[in-house]
A and B are shown apart, each in its own frame.
Chain A
Amino acid sequence: MILILLFPFSNFTIQSKENENITGMRFRNLILIAFFLIFYNASAQQNYLVDWNYEGQSFYDFILKAESKFPVKFFFREEWLKGITLSRYENKRYLNEILDTLLNGQGLFHYSDESGNIILTKYFAIKPLIEEKAAGESYIPGLEYEEEDETKGAGGNIVIDLGNPADRDKPGIVTISGYITDQHTREPVAGATVQIPKLSAGDISNSYGFYSLSVPRGSYSMKFSFIGMKEKTVDVNVYGSGELNIEMRSVLIPLKEALITAERNVTLQRFEVGLEKIDVNIFRLLPTAMGESDIMKSVLLLPGVHSVGEGSAGFNVRGGSADQNLILLYGAPVYNSSHFFGFFSAVNPDIIRDVALFKGGIPARYGGRLASVLDITSRDGNRIEFAGNAGISPVTTHFVLEGPIKKDTIFYIIAGRTTYSNWLLGMLQNRALRNSKASFHDINVRLAYDINRNNKIDLSSYYSYDSFQFNGDTTYQYQNNIIALRWRHFFTSRLFTSLTLNNSFYGYNVSSTRVSQEAFKLSHKINSTGLKADFNWYTGRNEFNFGAEMTEYNVRPGDYMPVGDSSLVIPNTIQRQRALEPSLWFEDKYTLTDYLSVNAGIRLTSFLAAGPQTIYLYNKGYEKGPSSVKDTLFYGKNSIYKVYGGPEIRLSVNIKTDTKSSVKLNYNHTKQYLHMLSNTTSISPTDIWKLSDYHLRPQTADQVAAGYYRLLHKNRIEASAEIYYKKIRDMADFKGGTEIIMNEFIEWDLINVEGKAYGIELMLKKTEGRVRYNIGYTYSRVLVRSTSSINEEIINDGKWFPANFDRPHDLILTFNYLFSRRYSFSATYNYSTGRPVTYPVATYTIGDIVIMQYSDRNKYRLPDYSRLDISLKVSGNLKAKKIANPHWIFSVYNVLGRQNVYSVFFRNDKNMVKGYKLSVFGRPIPTVSFNFDF
């Protein structure tokens, strides 16, 4: 069956046959139009003579008058009528004639049925099937449909006309656009594929569910598809620009209908080189170590993405350090994306609607980070009915509740996770462990309110908390806190804006009260508030995106405070940092010809570092330190002491070489003003965030990338090859053995380094059918070198050396086999070169102190990494209407039991310095998790 939602902002649904699910209609009188359309023949309208003087009358008054005089009823949306007044029409005396004349050029159409209903439509005309066939034959030769019977049947029922049929012979290109929503939850479907196979044209819906295609006039069949949704085909006669809104139906994931392709040749259409979409449903099937499906772990399966080690926080994209990734949740940056130091990701997978990772070709609307943007779009919640999901795994338990407060108007989603590890620890015999604590929890809440068709508001909040303590000693706590308010306003259906106000906070505390004289609390906090206005305007062959953003940062680098009266700790506070980061951007996606399109954007950013601040100036040519201080500058509150900024160019060209392949070229410049200072191999929760200041310059990166994409094997397999070269300037590295926490003069210990990264990413992907696989191989290098000429600021004699996350060979295989409607099997395999490491090469003693002498930085490598995981998902029942829909996931992590080296350490053991290697998951780890939807 087909469900097509017509009209941009109307709610009536055209349906066929048995399904009578008519969604709420808030405008005048309009009921059951679908039935009129299907069962009644058109052109039965009688001619009513308009005998009153309608000149100057508003259209609305005219309608009221007509309804009072004639046995007719009008169906329309009031805002369409605004500003339309009638003038004197010569020789037009009948109602339909007047309507014809009046509506011509207004984008409105009228349609009358036998029973006297007059339906107004905007941007497209309704034509019943019988009439249409006649019109179609006289106009355009019959279409050849290529799809399977199932979709043909659905598509064949109704042919939709877009635009005024009178314009059919006009030359030029017109635009089809509209919104795609989930029939079940009414949430917009982002990332859905819209295709016109005839033209090899396509688009992907944006986060509003909006899509737009520029095509020549003609008759086409349009395909709408999305992973986990039933594919839909609609036949359209395109006479002019118009809107076509589609409702799609989701399917239960492991079922047969899920064998639907998503990307296909739209990959060829996309502009961004290096955009990766993560399939939320597939990632839930992937094997996990702890039974928790994890978005960050899925990111690591993408080509060009690495991490420094198993269970480490953060990821590295194309040679960028972990802090060069912008992770956005509700449009706000997430400063710490992991729980338990990286063993779990901090974002609950239950609330994720879709995840996009931009490795290159970063759109101009994103800024502030060099390497990548991971944009997590959260779900809005079910708009129609209450629903939920709960689950349990070895470490955590989680739930989601969602539903409408007022149907289709106000709806919510609440998701939470918590651990029961404290309870497990409390049961242990070992006293040290029993006195230990480790827990985390997170909560996501979103409340959305559709005020009307043109105004939508949502309020979202995220809170995550981690705490642990070993044997009653030092307690570590950290938390993320995000609150975001968004107002989306639709000026017209093709010009819309989103206004976001958000606040993101991250802070950690380290405290110890075991020895009361030494009781202390150390804290670090970062708080940013952003206001962003983002405009999207789809017009003809152009897609404009422009906007402005202002972010205010507040960083408290460190506060070291006594706890309790008996503590002798001397309070110490590192001076706080404040800054403003205003930006403006403008981007145009311009389709020159069917085979060539260009995406050109510019982002203007600046960074204003504001006082109060005390700045030390140093003699040039000397190592920064107490002995080279030349002068001290004091800046008062709100005075700007340093300004950085400049344009960031984002440019992509997409050349379609034929219907099955395309070439994309891309250049990107990015700047980053906020840095995470980490002198450790992996990012850790006590790394500190630091804003650019007098001494610390913003990091910049230039990336050029080229990609070739090709569809193979009847378009079922997608192959791609991307190469990139990236130059990074002004990264911060550290002198050996530097402490960063509570470091008052961090500039003394920083070393300016530059980096270069290059690589090739090859991928072969099959995303449909019972057997799906993904083969990704990446060869990449990332090298850095110190740029200073001062002896103390030189690493490895100023030569290029591999960065901590340089892992040249990386092979990732994922395999899914949906062998029945209830069972699906997944496996992932990962091989990569071991990460670079600095080993001690010799020992010596000074007095009784044993000292290790290390090799050049990152001269050696850990052994190579290799791991195979498998999982099996079993769905309890296939009845979609069942109250609870349980499913089990059995997975085995590291099936091969390989002892991958997590870290190597050295210690002085009985008068001998020995090396030890540590593997975290040194044998197969089976887990079971249970979930049910209700």
Chain B
Amino acid sequence: MNNWVKFILIFLFLLVPASGCIEEFIPDVEETKEMIVVEGLVTDQNRTNKVKISKSLPIGRALARKPVRAAKVTIIDDLGFVTTLKETDPGIYSTDSTSFRGVVGRKYALRIESSGFIYETDYIEMKPVPPIDSLYWEKILITQSDNPAEIEEGCKIYLDTHDPNRKCFYFRWEYEETWEFWLPYQVPNNRCWVTEKSDRIMIKNASIYNQPKVTKFPVTFITNETDRLKVRYSILVKQYSLNADEYKFWEKIQNVSENVGSLYDVIPMAIKGNIRCTNKPSETVLGYFSVSAVTEKRIFIKDWFKGIPNFYWYCPTDTIFGRLPEEGRNVTWWVIEDGSSYRPPYWVTTIHRECADCTTRGTNIKPSFWP
């Protein structure tokens, strides 16, 4: 939808060069009040469940967490068991993975006491979640051409799942991408791994179908703009069961958050989560307390994709013959090719540290799941 606006604007700019403009703008918003943000997740996994409490940030401020410390956080189940969470990091409250684990079919509620306010949720039932049937990928042609050298390919990852028991109708997914990359130079750290988490909302409503079934849900599209597909790539997809309320919450957030403000966008609106302040109902509480069962699946992709460019073409900045100066070495410049055994000796150097040390982007410790 947004394409229109962009397009029309581009078109107009073209007719009337530089008539339009985009400028940074800080709206005169009177609400400077910080709101409390609660992000909680209880799963059926044998892991620590965390509740993160922080303060919201005003617009135009760097996204740094402002933890809310020393809160009293408890999770209560429908049988009356109360689990108290410990503040393991500032603003992060955790369960003990040995004594607490969510159970499908049981209901959980969150209760927080902080600075005299009490925040509570209703009891939320943990819905079961089926396993991911398959996680698979397809090559996608990005640029078609008669000349094979110009063909560019990307990769699209899909997911299928279904619930034969007809219990789970709403799904949410998160993924974690990990890929290996090599620096094309003989440097000490030239083989690394990067991990990135999804920052998009991925949900699906399967309740409108006879059987909850998700077919070919597009998880992500990997373009040739990054080096994800260059060596080996892996994606871990976590599948969460949602109840209808949580699904609606994510759907609204999704519609409202994906680029807002032009005339053709959905009118934005404050979206309420499921946590409320019981002793001061007018207090806005942001965030969501999710109760979900989780299943996960990982795949690896190692294939030849056409048209993936060399991402290090810009690296060599100088070639030094004879004697290598020491001043600034490994501080402002780095050697990426050592030709000292040649006559005359030479060194290819770079001023880009990421060309000489892959740990600037990732880790050189091979992840445990990596083959």
Q: Real complex partners, A and B?
A: yes
Residues A623-643 near B (CB distance < 8 A): 625-627
B56 at the interface (CB under 8 A from A): yes
What 1/0 mask marks residues of chain A from 736 to 770 whose CB sits below 8 Å from any chain B CB?
A: 11110000100000000000000000000000000
Q: Is the CB of B59 within 8 A of A840?
A: yes
Q: Which listed residue, A308, A627, A912, touches B62 by the CB 8 Å rule?
A: A912
A843 and B3: CB pair below 8 A? no
* CB < 8 Å neighbour of B63 from A425, A433, A686, A912: A912
Contact residue among A311, A681, A847, A916 (Cβ-Cβ distance under 8 Å from B22): A916
CB pair A470 B23 closer than 8 Å: no
Which residues of chain B come closer than 8 Å to A923, judged between CB atoms? 18-19
A 848-894 contacts with B by CB, 8 A: 848-857, 860
Q: Chain A 407-446 against B: per-residue CB contact (8 Å), 1 yes, 0 no?
A: 0000000000000010011001000010010100000000
Mask of A247-288 contacts with B, CB within 8 angstroms, 1/0: 000000000000000000000000000000000000000000
In the complex, are the beta carbons of B252 and A308 less than 8 A apart? no
User: In the bound complex, do residue B25 and residue A846 qualify as a contact, i.e. CB atoms below 8 Å apart?
Assistant: no
Contact A736 B63 (CB under 8 A): no
A64 CB → nearest B CB, Å:
72
**CB of B313 closer than 8 Å to a CB of A:** no
Contact with A along B214-245 (1 / 0, CB 8 A): 00100000000000000000000000000010
Q: Considering only CB atoms, which chain A residue lies closest to B31 in the complex?
A: A841
Contact among A341, A425, A849, A856 with B200 in the assembled complex (CB-CB below 8 Å): A849
CA distance A919 to B58 in the complex (A): 24
> Of the 9-residue stretches B83-91, B264-272, B337-345, B360-368, which lies at the interface with chain A?
B264-272
Chain A hits for B262, CB < 8 A: 903, 905, 918
> How many angstroms from the CA of A734 to the CA of B138 in the assembled complex?
38
Q: In the bound complex, do residue A844 and residue B199 qualify as a contact, i.e. CB atoms below 8 Å apart? A: no
Q: Are B20 and A919 in contact (CB under 8 A)?
A: yes
What is the distance, in angstroms, from B218's C-beta to the closest C-beta of chain A? Answer: 9
Residue B183 is within 8 A (CB to CB) of chain A in the complex: no
Whether A854 and B20, one on each chain, are in contact in the complex, defined by CB atoms closer than 8 angstroms, is no
User: Closest A-chain residue to B196, C-beta based?
Assistant: A848
Closest A residue to B258 using CB positions: A737
Cα of A341 to Cα of B11 in the assembled complex, Å: 12
Interface string of B247-263 (1 = CB under 8 A from A): 00001111111011111
Are A913's CB and B20's CB within 8 A?
no
Chain B residues within an 8 Å CB radius of A899: 21, 23
The residue on B at minimum CB distance from A516 is: B141
With the chains together, A795 CA to B271 CA distance in Å? Answer: 11
In the assembled complex, B12 has its CB within 8 A of some CB on chain A: yes
Q: Is B286 touching A438 in the complex (CB atoms < 8 A)?
A: no
* A858 to chain B: closest residue by CB: B267
Q: Is A22 an interface residue (CB 8 A)?
A: no
The answer on a CB contact under 8 Å between A433 and B25 is no
With the chains together, A474 CA to B266 CA distance in Å? 19
Please encode chain A, from 787 to 817, with 1 for each CB lying within 8 Å of some chain B CB and 0 for all others.
0000000010000000010000000000000
A482 CB to closest chain B CB, in angstroms?
Answer: 24
Is there an interface contact between B3 and A470, defined as CB atoms closer than 8 Å? Answer: yes
> Is B334 located at the chain interface by the 8 A CB criterion?
no
When each residue 278-313 of chain A gets 1 if its CB lies under 8 Å from chain B and 0 otherwise, what string results?
000000000000100000000000000000110110
* Known contacts A844-B37, A915-B25; A856/B266 CB under 8 A: no
Please tell me if B93 contacts chain A, counting CB pairs below 8 Å: no
| B79 contacts A by Cβ under 8 Å | no
Are the C-beta atoms of B20 and A737 separated by less than 8 Å?
Answer: no
Chain A positions 678-727 with a Cβ under 8 Å from a chain B Cβ: 679-682, 684, 686
Cβ of A425 to closest chain B Cβ, rounded Å: 8
* Shortest Cβ gap from A837 to chain B (Å): 8
Q: Which residues of A contact B24 (CB under 8 A)?
A: 914-917
Known A341-B4, A737-B266, A847-B174; contact A842-B199, beta-carbon cutoff 8 A? no
For B288, the chain A residues whose CB sits under 8 A away are 846
Tell me whether B35 is interfacial, beta carbon within 8 Å: yes
Given known pairs A915-B24, A919-B21, the reply for A737 and B58 (CB within 8 Å) is no
Inter-subunit contact B270/A736 (CB<8 Å): yes
Q: Is B97 an interface residue (CB 8 A)?
A: no
Q: Which chain B positions have C-beta within 8 A of A682?
A: 263-264
Structural contact, A804 and B25, CB atoms closer than 8 A: no
User: Closest chain A residue to B154 by CB distance?
Assistant: A515
Chain B residues with Cβ below 8 Å from A210 are none
Is B149 among interface residues, defined by CB-CB distance under 8 A?
no
Q: Are B266 and A841 in contact (CB under 8 A)?
A: no
Residues on B with beta carbons closer than 8 Å to the beta carbon of A436: 7, 10-11
Indicate if A343 sits at the interface (CB-CB under 8 A): yes
- Residue of B29, B244, B256 near A737 (CB, 8 A) is B256
The smallest C-beta distance from B59 to any residue of chain A, in angstroms, reads 5
Kindly state whether residue A735 has any CB partner on chain B within 8 Å. yes
- Cβ distance B356 to chain A, nearest Cβ, rounded Å: 25
- CB <8 Å contact, A736 and B268: yes
A537 within 8 A of partner (CB):
no
Interface: A135 (CB within 8 A):
no
**Considering only CB atoms, which chain B residue lies closest to A926 in the complex?**
B16
Indicate if A845 sits at the interface (CB-CB under 8 A). Answer: yes
Interface residues of B in 58-94 (CB under 8 A from A): 58-63, 65
Contact A860 to B22, CB < 8 A, known contacts A626-B207, A838-B269, A913-B59: no
Could you give, for residues 265-305 of chain B, a 1 whenever the CB lies within 8 Å of some chain A CB and a 0 otherwise? 11111110000000000001011100000000000000000
Q: Which of A515, A849, A914 interacts with B59 by CB under 8 Å?
A: A914
For residue B31, which residues in chain A have a CB less than 8 angstroms away from its CB?
A: 841-842, 855
Which residues of B are found within 8 Å of A919, using beta-carbon distances? 20-21, 23
CA distance A424 to B11 in the complex (A): 10
Q: Which of B18, B140, B216, B269 has the most CB of A within 10 A?
A: B269
A840 nearest CB neighbor, chain B only: B59
Interface hits, B39-64 → A, CB 8 Å:
39, 54, 56-63
B57, A844: Cβ atoms under 8 Å? yes
For residue A476, CB closer than 8 A to chain B, the reply is: yes
Question: What 7 additional pairs, Cβ within 8 angstroms, besides A394-B15, A850-B63, A914-B24?
Answer: A425-B14, A468-B7, A804-B267, A839-B27, A849-B199, A912-B60, A912-B62
- Give the A-binding residues of B (Cβ under 8 A): 1, 3-12, 14-16, 18-29, 31, 34-35, 37, 39, 54, 56-63, 65, 138, 140-141, 174, 197-201, 207-208, 216, 244, 251-257, 259-271, 284, 286-288
Ranked nearest first, the 8 interchain pairs of A and B with the lowest CB-CB distance are A736-B269, A905-B261, A737-B255, A737-B252, A917-B25, A682-B263, A842-B56, A737-B256
10 pairs of residues in contact across A and B, judged by CB atoms under 8 Å:
A424-B15, A684-B263, A844-B56, A849-B200, A853-B271, A901-B25, A914-B60, A918-B9, A918-B21, A919-B21
Interface residues of A (CB under 8 A from B): 290, 308-309, 311-312, 340-341, 343, 394-395, 421, 424-425, 428, 433, 436, 438, 468, 470, 473-474, 476, 515, 517, 568, 625-627, 679-682, 684, 686, 734-739, 744, 795, 804, 838-857, 860, 899, 901-908, 911-923, 925
